Amino acid sequence: MIRKCFAIGIILLFVGVTIAPTINFQVVKASQDDDLVEVTAQACGIQGYGDTTVKLTREQYQDLEQYLVEFRARLNQTSTRDEAVPIFKDAVVELDKYGLLPRGMSVQHAQKLVTTSYQNRLVYKFLEKGVKKISDGSNNNTNSYCLIFGNTDTTYSFNLLKIISSRVLTLSLEEEYEQLIICRYYLWAKEHNLTILANMIYLLYTSIMLYGLSGGYLSAIFPLDLFSGLTLGGVSNDWDAIPAKGFVFTIGKNGLQNYLGNSLYGNFTDFLVWIPPIYPIKTPITATGIIGFTGISFINLLTRRMTYIGSALSVNIISDPLS
């Protein structure tokens, strides 16, 4: 069944080295001095901000971990999204004390990023129909328009639009246009004298090309990246299911949803992400569990756990292996 899912997924992204700028493998690692821990934090779901790397003492890092434990305990006492917002804003202030805000981002901007990414009503209305299709409100595995805090291993962040634009750019530069569905539609429209449709498709194609050529950093035009996400768990090259372990807290449209344990998998199987073998990871095929994530994340290479704080458009996580 996994093979079938792999074959028929709506978006199964087969990319080469162009995936490098789209999947982020930021690390927290021990420095040469055993008393220091090097932490790299990054902004997710928004462009124009650089990664921040700081060196914390072991004691500072333990204090940070303890704060996150207390942060989670406070969140579990909430019952509505509005109650959780001030707690998330406090967390941003705490991260700033450790120098863990993305480079160039103020505390106020970071607070807005992690709590109100989708406050624009026009964007909400535009996306609402699509969210209903991918998130069944009666399913306990899902939540949408939610605040999210998680700490899991086997988790990777990605940017769907950058992946697609990189693939289009690569095939275009190699003049393998016949592999691009958008080009097939363009030729079909031209053959049937559908000039307006052909021009619209060509405009879309050139826009994607421009996005790819810019490296995806058109922050002046696309400040928010609604196509970012996080994967949890996946399968190995031998098709063995490998889960993520840890917890994910969400509070949003479906109330409070907690995902906890040693067997967590992203359940958006239409959004499988394939990672090239140049990366030494156990799950080259990973399943998306969080779509439209905006916030701050950092990953500990020693424990291979990612911590992420922010907002999500939709969350769908299960405890059973991918099928």
Residue 286, strand partner residues: 234, 273
**CB under 8 A, 24+ apart: contacts of 26-34:** 26/51, 26/297, 26/298, 26/299, 27/299, 27/300, 27/301, 28/298, 28/299, 28/300, 28/301, 28/302, 29/301, 29/302, 30/302, 31/55
Give the confidence band of 13 by pLDDT, cuts at 50, 70, 90.
very low
178 within a domain of the structure (yes/no)? no
The total of structural domains in the chain comes to: 1
Instruction: Identify whether 250 is part of a domain.
Output: yes
Supply the DSSP string of 82-123, one letter for each residue. Answer: HHHHHHHHHHHHHHHHTT-SPBT--HHHHHHHHH-TT--HHH
286 is in which domain, residue-wise? 2-162+218-316
pLDDT one-digit tens code per residue, 147-160: 999 999 988 887 76
Question: 144-194, pLDDT tens digit by residue?
Answer: 889 999 999 988 887 766 555 555 555 554 455 555 556 666 777 777 778
Mean pLDDT, rounded, for 80-93:
96
Rounded CA-CA distance 220/203 in Å is 19
Q: Phi and psi dihedrals of 273, rounded to 5?
A: -120, 125
- For residue 172, tell me if it sits in a domain: no
At 215 the three-state DSSP class reads coil
d(CA 264, CA 9): 20
Mean predicted confidence (pLDDT) in 234-256: 88
Beta-carbon contacts of residue 320 (< 8 Å; ≥ 6 apart):
263, 265
Interval 195-222: pLDDT, tens: 888 778 767 766 665 655 554 444 445 5
On whether residue 110 sits in a domain, the answer given is yes
Classify residue 289: in a domain, yes or no: yes
Contact yes or no for 241/153 (Cβ under 8 A): no
User: Has residue 134 been placed in a domain?
Assistant: yes
Residues 316, 270: Cα–Cα separation, whole Å: 12
User: Does residue 102 lie within any of the structural domains?
Assistant: yes
Q: What is the mean pLDDT of the chain?
A: 74
What is the C-alpha separation between 226 and 313, in angstroms, rounded?
Answer: 8
289 DSSP assignment: E
Task: Give domain status of residue 185, yes or no.
Answer: no
- Residue 92: predicted pLDDT: 97
Residue 80 is predicted with a pLDDT of: 93
- The stretches of the chain forming alpha helices (DSSP H) are 2-8, 58-75, 81-97, 107-115, 121-134, 160-173, 181-191, 195-213
How far apart (Å, rounded) are the C-alpha atoms in residues 35 and 58? 6
